[in-house]
Amino acid sequence: MPTQATVMPDAKFLKQMDDKIKVNVNLCFQCRKCSAGCPMAYAMDYTPAQLIHAIRLGLKDIVINSKTMWMCSSCQTCTTRCPQEVDIARVMDTVKILAVAEGIKPPVSSVHTFNKAALRNIKWLGRMYELGMIGDLKMRTFEFFKDMGLGMKMFMKGKLKIIPSVSPGRTLTTWKIFSRSAKKDRSN
Amino acid sequence: MNTKYAYYPGCSLHSTGAEYDVSFKKVAGKLGVELAEVPGWVCCGTSPAHSASHLLSIALPVKNLSLVETMAKDVVVPCAACYSRFKFATYEMGHDNKLAEDVKEVIGSSFQNKVKVLHPLEIFAQIPPDALKAQVKENHKDKALKVVCYYGCLLTRPPKVMQFDDVEYPMTMDKVLENTGYQILDWSYKTDCCGASFALSETDAVLTLTQKILKNAKEVGADAIAVACPLCHANLDTRQTDINAKYNTDYNIPIYYFTQLMGLAFGYSPKEMGVNKHLTEATMNV
Ligand code: SF4
Ligand code: SF4
């Protein structure tokens, strides 16, 4: 007989989620409509409904180590269709943020690496500089040849600029917004 | 009708979606819509921001909206991803007082939340059909072009925030393009997700999702897909070779920004509409 893992609901985690999510996951009655319509469910380890259920049970380990929220494309289908008005897409974001705060190495590292590269780009340049971001991404993922051909084609079509659009005023603006909101996030 | 708007192009329309920028501006000009780019605008933060901090994801668009407020105009936002972030920002600022206070502190400005956020489709939908038809050139070659309209996920969802047309079956783009002289086909993938921001990180997901969209477009007999978002355009246009290799298919469906199709009907050349920038080249004689 396969051994079954014993799960210990984590009360502190439940409280953490309650404080941060601002969505009442307890309204979920497990109709699974969110999962039925989720275009990314095929690539997740737990369906959106299962993840919501795991949160309700306080199964912190399962939740923060899941692939599910990293494979969520934020398409808002679940949130739109939930008969109980649970904002599942918002829950996905919150779980990502919590997992990172807990120091989890995201199981879908490509998404997290991309997000970090994009945010660095916005913070320091004020606007997205695609070529710079792709360079940054390649330095961190070591996937130097992935999409090289496509990149070249786009470049030839004038879709990627060589020179970033930089303005000191704008950089200062985004830099301030990033630092201040990080500070607020820490104190909240 | 208000015909002067603040214009927020967002990062994509200045780079990967340059043809959307060009075609939108030309078509707007032709229809008497004046656009003034928001000076000093910054990136809206898109998916990476809301995956990292809720506060940051609202503060960035609100910073832009506060710049718009000084222009005393409503703002038009062509990228569906930016449009979604702007709408979320106005919604949240009106519904969460604590957050609203934090955001104002973070951006260091008082913000009234009075600006209306519009997508170009909403502006063109307000123009009387006859005025649109009046601009269509007699010899417009592609009246026979069969088009399916792809709205993607973010324009309509979630409806309480977006308040844009019917959530599962929008018709705004269908009507605008129909009035511009195209044959619009009915299909099932209007609002399905294309993989959005996974373009560079989880490319395989994009291939899986866009393949279904292209398949349905082909099944109903479409010659082209019209889009209203640079992310949708990139995912559908640039990945057809990869899709063909992975699924053993032969998709070669041109993906147009709906503004490009409008411009072509109004007599602009494909080059003027930036059609030459597409990776899946248009083989029909537009
Ligand atoms: S759709 Fe809503 S109620 Fe149904 S399972 Fe999903 S979260 Fe629960
Ligand atoms: S927002 Fe995420 S979880 Fe919800 S349907 Fe879309 S991909 Fe699935």
With contacts defined as CB-CB under 8 Å, which chain B residues touch A130? 11, 15-16
Q: Nearest by CB to B51, from A115, A147, A176: name it.
A: A115
Least confident residue range of A116-125, B81-90, B112-121: A116-125
Contacts of A38 in chain B (CB under 8 A): none
Q: How far is the CA of B45 from the centre of ligand 2 (A)?
A: 19
Asked which of A142-146, B169-173, B274-278, B279-283 is least confident by mean pLDDT, the reply is A142-146
Q: How far apart are CA B108 and CA A179, in angstroms?
A: 12
How much is the average pLDDT of B42-64?
Answer: 93
pTM: 0.91
A113 neighbors A141 (Cβ within 8 angstroms): yes
For ligand 2, whether the C-beta of A54 sits within 6 Å is no
| pLDDT number for residue B92 | 96
**pLDDT tens-digit series, residues B237-276:** 988 999 999 999 999 999 999 999 999 999 999 999 999 8
Contact between chains at A114 and B53 (C-beta distance less than 8 A): no
**pLDDT at B285 exceeding the cut of 50:** no
Asked if the Cβ–Cβ distance from B55 to A158 is below 8 Å, we say no
Q: According to the model, what pLDDT value does residue A188 have?
A: 77
Q: Is A139 in the pocket of ligand 2 (CB under 6 A)?
A: no
Q: Using CA atoms, how far apart are residues B87 and B62, in angstroms rounded to an integer?
A: 10
Mean pLDDT of chain A: 84
Q: Is A78 in the pocket of ligand 2 (CB under 6 A)?
A: yes
Is residue A23 lining ligand 1, measured as CB closer than 6 Å? Answer: no
Predicted complex ipTM = 0.91
In Å, how far is B273's CA from the nearest CA of chain A? 14
Contact B230, B16 (CB under 8 A): yes
Residue burial A49-64, b: 16+ Cβ < 10 Å; e: rest: bbbbbbbeebbbebbb
Closest residue to A75, CB basis, from B18, B51, B196: B196
Pocket probe for ligand 2: among A23, A33, A47, A72, the residue whose CB has the most ligand atoms within 8 Å is A72
Alpha-helical regions (H) of B31-126:
46-52, 54-69, 80-95, 97-107, 120-126
In this prediction, residue A143 carries a pLDDT of: 56
Distance from CA of B200 to the nearest CA of A (A): 8
Per-residue pLDDT, averaged over A40-48, amounts to: 96
Sort out which chain B residues have CB atoms less than 8 A from A80's CB and list them.
157-159, 167
Strands (E), B156-244: 183-184, 224-227
Kindly tell me the burial class for residue A162, based on how many C-beta atoms sit within 10 Å of its own C-beta (0-12, 13-18, 19 or more).
exposed
Has residue A154 got a pLDDT over 90? no
| CB of A40 closer than 6 angstroms to any ligand 2 atom | yes
Chain A residues near residue B55 by CB distance under 8 angstroms: 181, 184-185, 188
Q: How confident is the model at residue B286 (pLDDT cuts 50, 70, 90)?
A: very low
- Asked whether residue A65 carries a pLDDT value surpassing 60, the answer given is yes
**Mutation target vs B (from A21, A23, A73; most B CBs, 10 A cutoff):** A73
Alpha carbon distances (Å) from B116 to A85, B66, B89: 25, 12, 11
| Closest-approaching ligand to the CA atom of A23 | 1
For residue B233, the one-letter residue type is: H
Contact between A147 and B203 under an 8 Å Cβ cutoff? The reply is yes
Q: Containing H/E element for B146?
A: strand B146-150
Residue in chain B nearest A184 by alpha carbon: B102
The number of the ligand 1 atom at minimal distance from the alpha carbon of A35 is 6
Q: Which residues does B15 contact at the CB level (< 8 Å), separation at least 6?
A: A128, A130, A159, A160, A161
pLDDT attached to residue A9? 78
Cβ partners under 8 Å of residue A15, min gap 6:
none
- Give me the pLDDT at residue B48, please: 87
> Contact, B46 vs B77, CB < 8 A?
no
Q: Which atom of ligand 1 is nearest to the CA of A33?
A: 1
Residues of B in contact with A165 (CB under 8 A): 14
User: Quick check: bond before B158 cis, omega within 30?
Assistant: yes
| Own/partner pairs, A137-146, CB within 8 angstroms, 24+ separation | A137/A113, A137/B200, A140/A113, A141/A110, A141/A113, A146/B203
- Are A127 and B208 an interchain contact pair (Cβ–Cβ within 8 Å)? no
Instruction: Identify the weakest region by mean pLDDT among A151-160, B9-18, B149-158.
Output: A151-160
B278 class by beta-carbon count within 10 Å (0-12 exposed, 13-18 middle, 19+ buried): buried
Name the burial class of residue B245, with classes exposed (0-12), middle (13-18) and buried (19+) by CB atoms within 10 angstroms of its CB.
Answer: exposed
The residues facing B5 across adjacent strands are: B35, B74
- Candidates A23, A27, A43; CA nearest to A35 is A43
